[in-house]
């Protein structure tokens, strides 16, 4: 439908049906014209008319004609201006390969690819200092996925001799603050548990609108609720805003156990729009859709991201775990350059995109590879490399095959007990014996699930170990001693020693696969193997694997001679 015609029809319907919500308007338009009309299109028109003073919206998101829109402009934390920068005096000696990336002219986008331990984060931090030193003024935003890595990056700046002020944030934190500055009233993030409950409510409402459907029957298929949560997160991540896009798109990474036809997608879309409407009404945003927070703020305000919320340069670390929609927003922030660092082998979330799909050109000389590994040892990589064997990410042209480290150390140690309980007890005994008296050395004791951290902390304390339980920024700022955390929290960090516990096959991967259809397990197994690869390659000196027989199947192909039994 022509936009001008649609705008005219929207105004006419407002005169007849106000107050009315955008989704209801879309439904009426679809009935009148016999063609699907997306709620997002109607919302865009309504907010544009609002900026012209032709429409108004109340607190319940019901629209009507007339009245001047009320300004909700606020103030966000702007990019800090950096003047009289002192040139960074690195306390780290960079290799010629690393220095070449640091010194590259910041006039275009840059992608830094490199394996675990190649120094991507430190190089990115030093490049930030180099850019601002050369400019003497400007603003720079450094984005990370989680708060642990954000805290770690601040330390990396200090280690590389950075003396200026750079805005280091998680993407979620930046989006929340920018949306607030744009005048968007944000009440909080919706997590997976709350999303599941709301999906149930939206499905009940959808039944009254479009009738029943097999995808609505949780009693017949209990696994459906988890599927719905993943499907909605996927829609957000792929930035699918129109039904036509959803009908046409290839649902890569969504598995085959629950197959959906074109007609099925129409029922899914109804629920998705109901969920979006609930988020809008409650002024919340789904945690898997931080980009949506900015998109909604811009829609209400009108126009593109204002210049005062942009930065001259933007850096993104661990970019492989950013979603397509996140990068679509991130690409709007820099005035001059965007530098990113990532490694597909360390991709530990179900996110997918291509550089062309987000409008970022990083081909040719704008894609640089850091080949060497400077963190971990040859002996650790002798075992870790088996976790990437036949992994799905290895087929991507962006995949960087790990090089052999030149640094030598102890073999990976294997503590194998007869039962899971004995494995934990013997593992804690071994940690106390080996690391109890260490202070400046860092030891990460990692487990699969968050609920295991408190019992692990108490078990180690009973053995006289001074141990800290940490996640997020607390883990990123961890200096020395023993810390207990989860596998996923190690992303982007490094420690002298890593002890990986809970590796009896019934728990990892068994417990995570038991409720998953057989045909969807391949992708999940690839992801879980990468999670362990990341955990192992955080270690600078040693890795110890702790579990019971039967041991985690991911290590079945590892030759016995490259590991040492404890």
Helix (H, G, I), strand (E, B) or coil at 141: strand
* Whole-number Å distance between alpha carbons of 235 and 242: 10
183 is in an annotated binding site: no
Element (H, E) at 496: strand 495-500
Q: Kindly report the backbone phi and psi dihedral angles of residue 415, in degrees, each rounded to the nearest multiple of 5, phi listed first.
A: -105, 110
Take residue 533 and report the two structure tokens written for it. 């690869």
Which residues, 6 or more positions from 7, have their beta carbon under 8 angstroms from its beta carbon? 45, 49
Q: Give CA–CA dist 483/401, Å, rounded.
A: 30
Q: Is 452 annotated as a binding residue?
A: no
Q: Is the dihedral of CA 204, 206, 212, 213 positive or negative?
A: negative
> How does 112-135 read in b/e, with b if 16+ C-beta sit within 10 Å?
bbbbbbbbbbbbbbbbbbbbbbeb
Per the structure block, which two tokens stand in for 343? Answer: 């490694």
400 is in an annotated binding site: no
Cα separation, 212 vs 280, whole angstroms: 25
Provide the token pair at 372.
């060497």
Tell me how many degrees the CA angle 100-91-489 measures, rounded to the nearest 5. 85
Question: Distance between CA 329 and CA 296 in Å, rounded?
Answer: 12
Q: Tell me the torsion sign for CA atoms 38, 44, 49, 50.
A: positive
The answer to whether 120 is annotated as binding is yes
* 117 in a labelled binding site: yes
98 a known binding residue?
Answer: no
Following DSSP, what letter does each residue of 248-267 receive, concatenated?
A: HS--TTS-SSS---HHHHHH
Per the annotation, where are the binding residues? 114-121
Per the annotation, where are the binding residues for ATP? 114-121
């Amino acid at each position: 439908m022509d936009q001008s015609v649609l705008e005219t029809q929207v105004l006419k319907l407002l005169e007849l049906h106000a107050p009315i919500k955008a989704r209801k308007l879309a439904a009426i338009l679809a009935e009148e014209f016999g063609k699907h009309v997306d709620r997002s299109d109607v919302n865009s028109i309504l907010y544009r008319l609002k900026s012209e003073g032709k429409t108004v919206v109340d607190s319940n998101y019901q629209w009507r004609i007339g009245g001047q829109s009320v300004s909700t402009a606020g103030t966000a934390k702007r990019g800090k201006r950096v003047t009289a920068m002192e040139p960074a005096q690195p306390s780290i000696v960079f290799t010629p390969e690393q220095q070449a990336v640091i010194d590259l002219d910041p006039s275009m986008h840059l992608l830094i690819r490199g394996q675990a331990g190649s120094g991507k984060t430190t190089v990115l931090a030093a490049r930030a200092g180099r850019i601002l030193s050369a400019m003497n003024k400007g603003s720079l935003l450094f984005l990370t996925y989680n708060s642990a890595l954000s805290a770690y990056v601040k330390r990396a700046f200090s280690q590389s001799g950075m003396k200026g002020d750079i805005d280091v944030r998680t993407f979620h934190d930046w989006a929340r603050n920018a949306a607030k500055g744009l005048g968007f009233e944000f009440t909080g993030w919706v997590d997976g548990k709350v999303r599941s409950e709301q999906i149930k409510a939206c499905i009940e409402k959808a039944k009254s609108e479009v009738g029943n459907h097999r995808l609505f029957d949780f009693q017949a298929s209990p696994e459906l609720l988890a599927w719905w949560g993943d499907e909605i997160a996927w829609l957000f991540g792929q930035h699918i805003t129109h039904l036509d896009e959803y009908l046409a798109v290839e649902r890569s990474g969504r598995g085959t156990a629950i197959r959906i036809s074109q007609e099925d997608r129409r029922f899914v879309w109804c629920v998705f729009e109901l969920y979006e409407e609930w988020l809008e009404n409650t002024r919340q945003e789904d945690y898997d859709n931080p980009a949506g927070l900015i998109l909604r703020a811009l829609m209400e305000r009108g126009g593109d991201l204002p210049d005062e919320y942009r930065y001259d340069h933007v850096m993104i670390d661990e970019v492989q775990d950013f979603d397509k929609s996140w990068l679509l927003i991130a690409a709007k922030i820099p005035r001059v350059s965007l530098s990113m660092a990532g490694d597909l082998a360390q991709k530990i979330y179900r996110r997918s995109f291509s550089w062309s799909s987000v409008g970022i050109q990083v081909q040719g000389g704008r894609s640089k590879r850091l080949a060497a590994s400077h963190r971990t040892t040859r002996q650790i990589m002798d075992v870790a490399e088996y976790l990437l064997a036949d992994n799905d990410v290895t087929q991507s042209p962006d995949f960087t095959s790990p090089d052999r480290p030149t640094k030598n150390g102890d073999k990976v140690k294997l503590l194998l007990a007869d039962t899971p309980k004995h494995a934990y007890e013997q593992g804690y005994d071994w940690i106390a014996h080996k690391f109890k008296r260490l202070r400046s050395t860092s030891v990460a004791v990692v487990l699969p699930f968050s609920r295991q951290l408190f019992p692990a902390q108490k078990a180690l304390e009973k053995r006289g170990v001074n141990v800290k339980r940490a996640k997020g920024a607390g883990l990123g700022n961890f200096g020395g001693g023993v810390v207990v955390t989860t596998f996923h929290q190690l992303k982007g960090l490094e420690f002298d020693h890593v002890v990986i516990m809970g590796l009896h096959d019934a728990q990892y991967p068994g417990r995570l696969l038991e409720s998953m259809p057989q045909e969807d397990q391949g992708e999940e197994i690839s992801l879980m193997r990468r999670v362990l690869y990341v955990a192992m390659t955080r270690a600078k000196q040693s890795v110890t694997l702790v579990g019971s027989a039967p041991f985690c199947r991911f290590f079945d192909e590892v030759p016995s001679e490259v590991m040492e039994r404890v």
